[in-house]
Structure 1
């Protein structure tokens, strides 16, 4: 087997795991659909390591993500569709094609023009494949996390001038949408069966929140990950402090709220 730092070693390991004669039973049972959730999970774990600035963990998580590419390529190779070399050739060709200012004679004035050229090249590629969808929203994958797709839809629409001029009117819109959610909760409390309307109005709130993050130049996923980390950190601290009182379940909601505020103030005192 090649040196472990050589990509060939990983390809050989994956081929052996998928060998019908003596391979790993679990690996042999997998297909594209069953592996796809792991691929998405590994990408998020890469992002988490980056958020925590943990470069040791990032090395391991990038390896896990690379394994997902190798796994999919191995399964495709078994079907005679393509192999890992084809994957490398495809992305190498794409990167050269979409960077004509580096690998060709095009000239650009900055990162904004690079992005504009990238999108123009993508549209040309779709047209070459027979895709006749000329909308500025064309090509936004439906498999993206919905918060990410919302941001992409809004960013594409903004290229046509369909955008708020600043964050202020977005905040006004958010207040309007929250009021509409409140109205649906009031209706539900009065006995109305309005779950569909409530779902729609909550969706509008989330969509506007994504738009607000875009105007603030804040990544929605990163912001939500930070909020999740903060909640988890504070709740675990609450659990630790509540042990002497019989645990969280032994506390009333008012006592739990007081404990939450105490943990929150302690964090502020530490500069967190």
Structure 2
């Protein structure tokens, strides 16, 4: 009776579907010419692409597309484990059991006697536990290949988890203003020919880092904020292109003032 109930439960359906995926992948790996050829290295760039597609679906709040992209990512994760199992390095059970053990170890406030009543305490415990696992630095877990904006956010979050952070947002904003002043001083706008581009680039990096820091401090995700602005710009620029074409105009033959007229209309049409 218990097995029948379990099979009809949500967990039972999920396990059945996951088992079906494993069966399908086993068959594809054995019989499909493309799947048979895949290696860890050949899948890597495809996984990166799928991750960005998942991110796009989240940004658009497109639930049907999100379901599809989660499936694609899950396929890749299972595929990597399958390839590793073929040389007896590890298999999917090792991956999942290892994950469970890590989650249990890093949540002693749930599975042990440690007290953590706030999100901040959980993050601090998490970073300290990672050091016990063998990480030589709090920042050691930040992937080298992360995009710079996301990497800045993660570096700052991890430093905060170790207790290295500002106390008040006003202090962080003062740092932004300080970095802006240093950038302006280095990037001599009145005499551009005298600008030391190398130093100016460094100061601009410092300014961006401080802005990311301030965004994090006031609970704004800078990556998400910038992507929203990217999408807004795309919408408005495509409106400009479309409406200008309707009027028989080509951008290459238009003045900036003419483009601005369409741009201002686009701002009214696409406010968000």
Distance 1:112 1:212, change over 3 A: closer
Counterpart position of 1:90:
98
Q: CA deviation at 1:214?
A: 0.7
Counterpart position of 2:41:
33
**1:8-58 Cα distance to aligned partner (Å, 9 max, x none):** 322233333333xx4233x44443233223323323332332333222222
Summarize the alignment of residues 98-117 of structure 1 with structure 2, pairs less than 5 Å apart. Answer: 98-117=106-125
How many angstroms apart in 2 are the aligned matches of 1:190 and 1:108? 56
Instruction: For structure 2, list consecutive stretches of 5 or more residues without a partner in the other structure.
Output: 1-12
Counterpart selection for 1:81 from 77, 89, 97: 89
Structure 1 vs Structure 2 CA RMSD: 2.9
- Residue 221 in structure 1 maps to residue 223 in structure 2: yes
How many angstroms apart in 2 are the aligned matches of 1:255 and 1:18? 58
Distance 1:54 1:11, change over 3 A: same
Q: Which has the higher helix share?
A: 2
How many angstroms apart in 2 are the aligned matches of 1:162 and 1:116? 11
Counterpart position of 2:151:
149
The TM-score with structure 2 as length reference comes to 0.80
Instruction: For structure 1, list consecutive stretches of 5 or more residues without a partner in the other structure.
Output: none
Counterpart position of 1:252:
255
Counterpart position of 1:45:
53
Counterpart position of 2:6:
none
SS of equivalent to 1:264: helix
Distance 1:112 1:170, change over 3 A: closer
Counterpart selection for 1:265 from 244, 263, 268: 268
Distance 1:187 1:67, change over 3 A: farther
Q: CA deviation at 1:199?
A: 3.1
Counterpart position of 2:75:
67
How many angstroms apart in 2 are the aligned matches of 1:201 and 1:13? 53
- Residue 54 in structure 1 maps to residue 54 in structure 2: no
How many angstroms apart in 1 are the aligned matches of 2:254 and 2:37? 47
SS of equivalent to 1:209: helix
Counterpart position of 2:204:
202
Distance 1:15 1:173, change over 3 A: same
Q: CA deviation at 1:91?
A: 1.0
Q: CA deviation at 1:69?
A: 0.4
Q: CA deviation at 1:63?
A: 0.6
Distance 1:235 1:122, change over 3 A: same
Counterpart selection for 2:132 from 112, 124, 129: 124
